Amino acid sequence: MIATIRYNSRKLQIDLSKPLDISMPLVSSKNNVNAWYIDEPKIEPVEDGEWIAAVSEGASINFNNIQFNPHAHGTHTECVGHITEKVYSINEHLKTFFFLAEVITVAPENFMKDKVISKKQLQFVLGNKKRDAVVIRTIPNTRDKFSRQYSNTNWPYLKEDAVKFLVNKGIKHLLIDLPSIDREKDGGELLGHNAFWNTQGKLRLDATITEFIYVSNKIEDGEYFLNLQIAPFENDATPSKPILYKVIS
């Protein structure tokens, strides 16, 4: 189904029958992707005495409790409330859900003992393109990202000037396939998060960061229409399901 959408001053054609899901599912398993030094997520039936709320155990329904952390256990979207004393809710501040996005692939560079994404790299792949969102796929890009245990691995991250470059380009929504845009252990500086949300000036309350995505190698770099779907949690972050649609024209 081809849809024609007027977005800002452009008419975009997208094929709604070909959604490209770039989220990672949450699984009750030690093999679920994980970060930040906590246990795996748990999805378990409610128990009341001898009664277990699972059809497989003789109940008439499946009725599960779910225990997880949105930042540690899969694809999630967060707002400035992630790093501010004042409470800001992603459900309150993300009010539109469709954006023009650019998918880019970046090989993190060596920087001292780290791997980083630099301003120069982003300048090269984005050029003069005007987008609301950028979707960053890091390489190598293998399926083990679905089960990788990231704690104490010093994953790649965005340098502060790279994040400021995105802000200056007008990027409101940053999506990446890593646990964080910042260094795993940075003494609490969170340079990238602070730069993206402009915590030293007027807060960018409608800007979001989505982490732990997975962009299949079958998805080409280029222009897409992004549907950023979130669960309505009154929290700084929520599990999310970003969907891409290729822009045909």
Strand partners, 38: none
Cβ(131)–Cβ(103) under 8 Å? no
- Is residue 225 in some structural domain? yes
- Number of folded domains in the chain? 1
Q: What is the pLDDT of residues 38-88, one digit of tens each?
A: 999 999 999 999 999 999 999 999 999 999 999 999 999 999 999 999 999
Query: Which two structure tokens, joined as six digits, stand for 136?
Result: 């960053």
Cβ(143)–Cβ(177) under 8 Å? no
Query: Which two structure tokens, joined as six digits, stand for 85?
Result: 């004393």
Q: Which pLDDT belongs to residue 7?
A: 87
Proportion of the chain above pLDDT 90, given as a percent? 96
- Is residue 55 in some structural domain? no
Mean local confidence (pLDDT), 193-207: 97
- Is residue 229 in some structural domain? yes
- Is residue 61 in some structural domain? no
Could you identify the residue written with the tokens 């409610």? 46
- Is residue 20 in some structural domain? yes
- Is residue 187 in some structural domain? yes
- Is residue 31 in some structural domain? no
Beta-carbon-side half-sphere exposure of residue 156 (alpha carbons within 13 Å): 22
Q: Is residue 23 over pLDDT 90? A: yes
Q: Indicate the pairing of strand 98-106 with strand 133-138.
A: parallel
User: How many Cβ atoms sit within 10 Å of the Cβ of residue 42?
Assistant: 13
Helix axes 119-126, 160-168, angle to 10 degrees: 30
Handedness of CA 40, 113, 22, 197 (dihedral sign): positive
- Is residue 110 in some structural domain? yes
Q: Is residue 216 over pLDDT 90? A: yes
Q: What is the pLDDT of residues 80-109, one digit of tens each?
A: 999 999 999 999 999 999 999 999 999 999
Mean local confidence (pLDDT), 126-130: 95
Beta-carbon-side half-sphere exposure of residue 140 (alpha carbons within 13 Å): 4
Mean local confidence (pLDDT), 10-20: 93
Alpha carbon distance, N-terminus to C-terminus of the chain: 14
The whole-chain average pLDDT of the chain stands at: 97
Q: What is the CATH number of the domain that holds 120?
A: 3.50.30.50
Q: Is residue 9 over pLDDT 90? A: no
Q: Is residue 10 over pLDDT 90? A: no
214: domain range? 2-26+71-246
Beta-carbon-side half-sphere exposure of residue 35 (alpha carbons within 13 Å): 22
Residue 237's H or E segment, with its range, is strand 237-246
Please give the model's pTM, rounded to 2 decimal places: 0.97
